[in-house]
Structure formats: structure tokens, C-alpha cells
């Protein structure tokens, strides 16, 4: 948040920890610690945290959080200068199981790959996947993705701050936070429904659209996961399609630093089709 004053002061002017701001919809963001405005300055910046757990406080663009909930002398304007981020829903059972599996690595001081994965996942449930790379001796690149895919610049900076201030890791290692490189792909296919399922045609079409969405999520929720059209075919067949002709994507190997990113979906319905010659 940026806080603006109506006049300058010869001494530090402090906005106290816990000062509340809102976008005007009842959601409350609180100042994490005292905000000190330096002598002679008309403004200062401080970090705020949404008091409501979950993703509800995410994605407020600059200027949207602009109401000071209780007046403070000499404060004329408040506004967020970064898009809010970092809120997440409760950790999934799958993520929790993965952290349990990695837990024994926390006792190592040798800097093995699993210990760094556990370190990254302990940041919070906003981290959906992690890839560890060491391009040079003494440097460890911790590449992470979020539920939205590739993290923003602000998310990477926040994660880097977490790494810099975390204990229990080899002090000789330089940890560098980063996001994966997007490997773009498109979905372009034609699917058919058996004529014997004519009465369920509308239902199956809806299920096939859902299957394509499920594939997008599956393909993009793991860093380095190879682009696999066979999984797309499997999901569509399971949804009720009798034949699936996939033009894109094609099978593509990804590096451990890349993340599949779907840029376009063309789901063409070819109509009802007999399963055999009459």
C-alpha cells in the first residue's frame, strides 16, 4: 500500500501496524508492521495482508484497495500499488501427502533435491509444483508454479524473500527463485458420438468439454510434464466420445524447467456416427 500525507514532517511519521484498508466491499487488509514515512516525505509504502483466508483477496489491481477504514490525521490518500496475490485455499490431501513423503529429507544438511522441494512446498499451498536445478556449483534454482501456472514477478519476489530468510538449509548455497518457461500448445480435435448414444448426445457433449478442461489442468499442473495427447484421448473417450481425431497437440518432450501452457482450444463436434457398417 502507498499512504500519502497532506504535509511533510521533520520527524518520522508512523502509520501503526494493524491499520486497516478495504476495496469497499467489506474485505479487510491490515498493515503487517509499522509504516514509517521518512522526514520530509509525503508518502510511504507498507505491506498489507488480507484478513480473510483463501483466494478471495487475490487479484485486486493497483488502485482498487483505496479506503482507509479509520481516519488518521494528515493521511489524504491510500492505494495499493501492486496487484494482490498469494492467498490460497486449504492444502489438498495430495499436496499434504507429498510433503509427508518429503519430510525425512528435512533432516539432511547436504542440500539434496528433495529437501529443497520440501522447503519450497512449505512456503504455502500457493506452490503447486517445484523443480530443482543447479546450473553452477553452489547455486540452486528453485523453479515453482502456482495454481494459475507461471508465477508473476511479485510472486517470485515474495518467494525469493522467503528463501532468503529460511533457516535449516546449507549456508553455502545460493538459492534463486524463478518461474518455469512456458511451452505453449493448442488443442485442436474433432470428436464423434456413437449413434447408439443419441439420447445422451447433449450430456456427452458437455462431458467432453469438461474432459478437455480437465486435460488442460492435468497437462499444466506439473513442471516438466511432457505434452501427452494420449491422456487427452483417454479423457474424451471416458467422457463418452466414440472416436477422437487429434490434430494438436502432438507428443512433445519438455525440459525440467518448462511448463505446458495451453493457449487455444478448438473442440469440434463431428456429429453422431455409427460404430459399424449397417
Last residue in a domain, options 150, 179, 208: 179
pLDDT of 267 > 60? The answer is yes
Rounded CA separation 147/129 (Å):
9
Q: What is the pLDDT of residues 219-264, one digit of tens each?
A: 998 999 999 999 999 999 999 999 999 999 999 999 989 999 999 9
Contact in structure between 43 and 5 (CB atoms under 8 Å) = yes
Q: Does residue 88 form part of some domain?
A: no
Q: What is the pLDDT of residues 5-59, one digit of tens each?
A: 999 999 999 999 999 999 999 899 999 999 999 999 999 999 999 999 888 999 9
Q: What is the pLDDT of residues 144-164, one digit of tens each?
A: 998 888 998 988 998 898 888
Mean predicted confidence (pLDDT) in 103-111: 55
pLDDT of 104 > 80? The answer is no
pLDDT at position 227 is 97
pLDDT at position 97 is 73
Closest CA to 115 of 124, 106, 128: 106
pLDDT of 268 > 90? The answer is yes
Is the pTM here over 0.75, yes or no? no
Binning pLDDT at 50, 70 and 90, where does residue 60 land?
A: very high
On whether both 160 and 195 belong to a single domain, the answer is no
pLDDT of 167 > 80? The answer is no
DSSP state of 70: S
pLDDT at position 33 is 92
Three-state DSSP class for residue 69: coil
Q: What is the pLDDT of residues 175-216, one digit of tens each?
A: 899 999 999 999 999 999 999 999 999 999 999 999 999 999
Q: How many domains does the chain have?
A: 3
| Cβ count within 10 A of residue 214 | 16
pLDDT at position 96 is 65
On whether both 133 and 51 belong to a single domain, the answer is no
Q: Mean pLDDT: which of 79-93, 102-116, 221-235 is highest?
A: 221-235
Boundaries of domain holding 105: 93-179
Handedness of CA 117, 259, 216, 61 (dihedral sign): positive
Q: Does residue 85 form part of some domain?
A: no
On whether both 207 and 221 belong to a single domain, the answer is yes
Rounded CA separation 223/215 (Å):
15
Supply the CATH number for residue 149's domain: 3.30.300
Last residue in a domain, options 79, 107, 127: 79
Binning pLDDT at 50, 70 and 90, where does residue 107 land?
A: low
Q: Does residue 157 form part of some domain?
A: yes
Amino acid at each position: 500500500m502507498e499512504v500519502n500525507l497532506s504535509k511533510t514532517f521533520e520527524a518520522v511519521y508512523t502509520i501503526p501496524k494493524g491499520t486497516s484498508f478495504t476495496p469497499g466491499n467489506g474485505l479487510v487488509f491490515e498493515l503487517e508492521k509499522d509504516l514509517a514515512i521518512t522526514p520530509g516525505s509525503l508518502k510511504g509504502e507498507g505491506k498489507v495482508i488480507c484478513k480473510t483466508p483463501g483466494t478471495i483477496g487475490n487479484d485486486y489491481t493497483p488502485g482498487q484497495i483505496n479506503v482507509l477504514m479509520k481516519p488518521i490525521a494528515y493521511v489524504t490518500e491510500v492505494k495499493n500499488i501492486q496487484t494482490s496475490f498469494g492467498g490460497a485455499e486449504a492444502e489438498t490431501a495430495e499436496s499434504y501427502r507429498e510433503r509427508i513423503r518429503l519430510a525425512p529429507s528435512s533432516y539432511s544438511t547436504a542440500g539434496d533435491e528433495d529437501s529443497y522441494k520440501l522447503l519450497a512446498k512449505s512456503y504455502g499451498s500457493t506452490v503447486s509444483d517445484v523443480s530443482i536445478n543447479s546450473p553452477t556449483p553452489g547455486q540452486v534454482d528453485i523453479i515453482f508454479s502456482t495454481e494459475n501456472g507461471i508465477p508473476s514477478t511479485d510472486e517470485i519476489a515474495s518467494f525469493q524473500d522467503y528463501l532468503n530468510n529460511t533457516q535449516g538449509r546449507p549456508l553455502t548455497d545460493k538459492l534463486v527463485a524463478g518461474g518455469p518457461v512456458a511451452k505453449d500448445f493448442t488443442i485442436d480435435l474433432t470428436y464423434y458420438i456413437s449413434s447408439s448414444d443419441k439420447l445422451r448426445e447433449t450430456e456427452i457433449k458437455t462431458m467432453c468439454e469438461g474432459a478437455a478442461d480437465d486435460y488442460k489442468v492435468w497437462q499444466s499442473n506439473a513442471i516438466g510434464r511432457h505434452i501427452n495427447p494420449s491422456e487427452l484421448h483417454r479423457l474424451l473417450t471416458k467422457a463418452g466420445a466414440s472416436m477422437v481425431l487429434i490434430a494438436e497437440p502432438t507428443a512433445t518432450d519438455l525440459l525440467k524447467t518448462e511448463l505446458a501452457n495451453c493457449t487455444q482450444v478448438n473442440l469440434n463436434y463431428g456429429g453422431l456416427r455409427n460404430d459399424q457398417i449397417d
